[in-house]
Amino acid sequence: MAMTHPEGAPLFAFEHTYVRDLEGLFTPWQAATAPAPRLLALNTTLAVELGIDPDALRTPAGVATLVGNSTEPGSTPVAQAYSGHQFGGYSPRLGDGRALLLGEVLDARGERRDVHLKGSGRTPFARGGDGKAAVGPMLREFVISEAMHAMGVPTTRSLAVTATGEMIARDTTVPGAVLTRVAASHVRVGTFQYAAALDDPTVLPRLADYVIARHHPAAAQSDAPYLGLLQAVIDVQAALIARWMLVGFVHGVMNTDNMTVSGETIDYGPCAFMDAYDPSTVFSSIDQHGRYAFGNQPDIAIWNLARFAETLLPLIATDPHDAVGPAMELLGTFDTRYRQHWNDGMRAKLGLPDGLVDEAAAGDESLVTDLLHQLQEQRIDYTMFLRSLSSAVRGDATASRSLFAQPEMFDTWCERWLVRVLAQGRDPHAVAAAMDAVNPVYIARNHQVEAALAAATAGDLGPFDRLVEVVTQPFTERPGLADYATPAPASFGNYRTFCGT
Ligand code: AMP
Ligand code: MG
């Protein structure tokens, strides 16, 4: 259905329940004026999902809204307040130093979604920062968040990236940009930490009730709603981290201010996808001790959730000491839930039959661990290998086998694995098709991302547009895209990513 937008009418039907209900957790603020805004990327599918005419967003009035130069009716731009443990150290006052929440819209399904700007100028939370963001990193968040979404990973979304027309100082002078981000909400574990530390004791219960109503309404039905809230956040995070681990995603900066209570991935800074399977993979240049290494992500999630649980103690029981036991008990459920999600996901990726609990199923666990061990030992590309397995199910294991320097190990494993996959007369073609639907061909490969961003920063958006097109249909192999399905050439070297973007 084509949408036409009446000229001059507001684009977004903004509401602002956050501002209405959560006094004490924001500061009203205006975006800096972008001198010469120019739309670089627009997510037309997401616009339609939000009930907005994409063509109207391309007009000067639309771009002015996307970059923060004009404020639509119903929008009250605010910088949100939050605290956070950054690399384990507590910062009592972080907040949106360069971002603003414009308001909320109800999408086509009636879901409430935040519309937010990143890179829109200094706010009272900016500390030493310039409040700005560069074109490269904002396009990076756009493409990686949309790739994650296309793979079924819960995430904030990217509606648009708009160049501001201003040059900003980074290592060199680079063009500035604003990302228009859409999220289930921007409430973070750090928001709870901030609320819990305020002198005003009414803020924390208001925040908890707000989050229950907006994200976890089932908790309201529980005898102990705040324990229900804790369990719900544990559950969505266990599911989320399992998805990251299944697609080989390294977030890179899992500080408590970068963990949502909705269960969406947020803040694409130094993140990247792992090539060769290795739990110790770290990309971020500032993560010197590997705190946020690939394999540590589930443990860090529990650590962050423990910080979340601490904020809830005074709500769970009149004497917070009485709340510690029940909260600890719930934190203990993360592990089981995470493993369940991960096992289910890995079984689907390997084409292992589910619901078949027979004697042979007992060997499946070692099938998985033996495989991961081999992938790590022989430094095999995780994504490429998993995708290649469907061909082995169809009868040709050459592609999988050729990835190994010592293919004999693979041969032994493959034989064992195929017995299970094709157990009880399962149809190889149906199994292979189901595997292809969960093993991406195309992920946002580091060298492709870097090449696309370098070209975009120099003014050529062609490679970026193409990369978005490729990674937003990750499961369908298409001709001519082989370069997007292979790891970086050795000459690309060890990939390093940077914060302070
Ligand atoms: P991040 O690592 O992107 O999650 O940011 C951590 C904190 O630093 C948040 O409070 C951000 O708002 C703030 N921040 C990051 N970059 C800037 C910047 N250029 N100017 C102001 N604040 C910033
Ligand atoms: Mg952040």
Q: For the chain, what are the domain ranges?
A: 17-186, 190-342
Longest CA–CA separation in the chain, Å: 68
Whether the CB-CB separation of 149 and 43 falls below 8 Å is answered with no
> Is the beta carbon of 216 within 6 A of some atom in ligand 1?
no
Q: Going along 227-376, which residue ranges are E strands? A: 249-250, 272-273
Residue 483 to residue 436: CA distance in whole angstroms: 19
pLDDT at 357 exceeding the cut of 60: no
> Is the beta carbon of 126 within 6 A of some atom in ligand 1?
yes
Residue 24 to residue 39: CA distance in whole angstroms: 34
Question: Which residue is listed with tokens 């290649």?
Answer: 388
Q: What percent of the chain has pLDDT over 90?
A: 93
Name, in order, each residue with C-beta under 8 angstroms of 143's C-beta and a sequence gap of 6 or more. Answer: 444, 449, 452, 464, 467, 468, 471
For residue 311, how many other CB atoms are within 10 A of its CB?
23
Atom of ligand 1 nearest to the CA of 131: 20
pLDDT tens, 195-231? 999 999 999 999 999 999 999 999 999 999 999 999 9
Atom of ligand 1 nearest to the CA of 132: 19
Q: Which of these ranges, 5-14, 126-135, 318-327, has the smallest mean pLDDT?
A: 5-14
Residue 434 to residue 352: CA distance in whole angstroms: 10
**Closest residue to atom 23 of ligand 1, CA basis:** 97
> Is the beta carbon of 116 within 6 A of some atom in ligand 1?
no
b or e along 60-69 (b: 16 or more beta carbons within 10 Å of the residue's beta carbon)? Answer: ebbbbbbbbb
Nearest ligand by distance to the CA of 156: 2
Q: Give 411-445 as a 3 state SS string.
A: HHHHHHHHHHHCHHHCCHHHHHHHHHCCCCCCCCC
Residue 425 DSSP symbol: G
Among 322, 276, 282, CA closest to 300: 282
Which residues, in sequence order, are bridge partners of residue 104? Answer: 15, 114
> Is the beta carbon of 77 within 6 A of some atom in ligand 1?
no
257 as an active site residue: the answer is: yes
pLDDT tens, 90-104? 999 999 999 999 999
- Alpha helices of 151-217 — where are they, by DSSP H? 189-197, 203-215
CA distances to 37, 274, 371 from 282, in Å: 35, 9, 21
pLDDT at 361 exceeding the cut of 80: no
Helix (H) / strand (E) element for 379: namely none
**Closest residue to atom 11 of ligand 1, CA basis:** 97
Torsions phi, psi for 11 (to 5 deg): -85, -45
Nearest ligand by distance to the CA of 98: 1
- Could you say which of 96, 114, 235, 257 is catalytic? 257
CA distances to 31, 51, 102, 108, 116 from 105, in Å: 19, 9, 10, 10, 11
The rounded Å distance from CA 181 to ligand 2 centre is 13
110: tokens are 């009636």
pLDDT value, residue 460: 97
Residue 147 to residue 247: CA distance in whole angstroms: 11
pLDDT value, residue 232: 98
The rounded Å distance from CA 90 to ligand 1 centre is 15
The pLDDT confidence band at residue 182, using thresholds 50, 70 and 90, is very high
The rounded Å distance from CA 381 to ligand 2 centre is 30
- pLDDT: is 361 or 427 the higher one? 427
Ligand 1 pocket test: which of 26, 94, 141 has the largest number of ligand atoms within 8 Å of its C-beta?
Answer: 94
> Is the beta carbon of 131 within 6 A of some atom in ligand 1?
yes
Tally of residues, the chain = 501
> Is the beta carbon of 97 within 6 A of some atom in ligand 1?
yes
Residue range 8-26: mean pLDDT, rounded: 95
The rounded Å distance from CA 269 to ligand 1 centre is 10
Residue 62 to residue 398: CA distance in whole angstroms: 52
The rounded Å distance from CA 37 to ligand 2 centre is 24
Atom of ligand 1 nearest to the CA of 257: 4
- pLDDT: is 448 or 491 the higher one? 448
Torsions phi, psi for 40 (to 5 deg): -100, -35
> Is the beta carbon of 228 within 6 A of some atom in ligand 1?
no
The pLDDT confidence band at residue 17, using thresholds 50, 70 and 90, is very high
pLDDT value, residue 358: 64
> Is the beta carbon of 269 within 6 A of some atom in ligand 1?
yes
pLDDT value, residue 499: 66
> What's the pTM?
0.97
The rounded Å distance from CA 420 to ligand 2 centre is 44
Angle between the N-to-C axes of helices 364-377 and 407-421, in degrees from 0 to 180, rounded to the nearest 10: 150
Residue range 239-267: mean pLDDT, rounded: 98
In the predicted model, what is the mean pLDDT of the chain?
96
Q: What percent of the chain has pLDDT over 70?
A: 98
- pLDDT: is 70 or 359 the higher one? 70
> Is the beta carbon of 168 within 6 A of some atom in ligand 1?
no
315: tokens are 């709500």
pLDDT at 464 exceeding the cut of 70: yes
53: tokens are 């005419």
The rounded Å distance from CA 126 to ligand 1 centre is 7
Among 406, 393, 473, 409, CA closest to 441: 473
Helix (H) / strand (E) element for 168: namely strand 157-169
Nearest ligand by distance to the CA of 82: 1
> Is the beta carbon of 96 within 6 A of some atom in ligand 1?
yes
